[in-house]
Structure 1
Amino acid sequence: MNNQSVPHIGQIVKILRGKDTGQVAVVLSHADNKFVYIADGDKRKFDQAKKKNLIHLETQTYISSEVANSLMENGRVTNGKLRYAVMKFRQSTETNAEEKGD
C-alpha cells in the first residue's frame, strides 16, 4: 500500500523504513523527485530535518495547513507547530479507528 504520489508540503507521512519505522512526521520540503525532508518537532527537529526516500514513506491524507502556511510565509516552522500537526493527525486517526470499531 505504498503511495508513490509526491507528498505536499505540510503533509503527514508514515515512516516505513529505518530506525524511525512506524513513526509519523511532516513533510518540510522536497529535495528532488525522489527525496523529501521530514521532521516531527520532537525527536527530529526542524533544524535537523531528515532526508528520506519517498519509497520509504507512506503519505497520509492529513495535511497541516498551519505548517504549510508557515513554511510558505517564513521558509521555516516552529517545532511546536510540527508537534501539534503530528498530535492532530494522531487524534484524527484514533477517532476514525473508534468510529470503525463501533
Structure 2
Amino acid sequence: MTGDTLMHDGQLVLEDRLAVALISAALPETAGMPVRRLPSPGTVNALFRIGDSLVARFPLMPTPLAEVREEAERMAEFAEVSPVPAPRSVRVLDAGREYASAWMIAS
C-alpha cells in the first residue's frame, strides 16, 4: 500500500515497505520499532511515525539534499527559540536508487 494519491506530475510513489527498509537502513537502532504511515491532508510529504518519538519525512517530489539540509537547519533554529518542544532533525539522507529524493528523520 502506498497511501499516496498522485496529485502532481512527477510525484514519487513510496510503498510502505520501502519506507520501512529505508528507515531501518538509515537508523539501524530503529529496527524492530513500529513504523506506520501517518494520514495527512498534505500533498508535499509522506510522513511515517517511527516508534513513539521519531518521524520520517519523505518529500513526494524530488528534492535536492541541500534543500532538505536547509530545512533541518531552520528546524534547529526554531527549536532553539520555541517556548514549546519543537522537532529537530536527527538525520538527513540523500536520494538513492530506491527513493529519488533527499529525506529526513526528525525527533
More helix by share: 1
More strand by share: 1
Q: TM-score, normalised by structure 2?
A: 0.30
Q: TM-score, normalised by structure 1?
A: 0.31
Q: Which protein, 1 or 2, shows the higher relative CO under an 8 Å CA cutoff with sep ≥ 6? A: 1
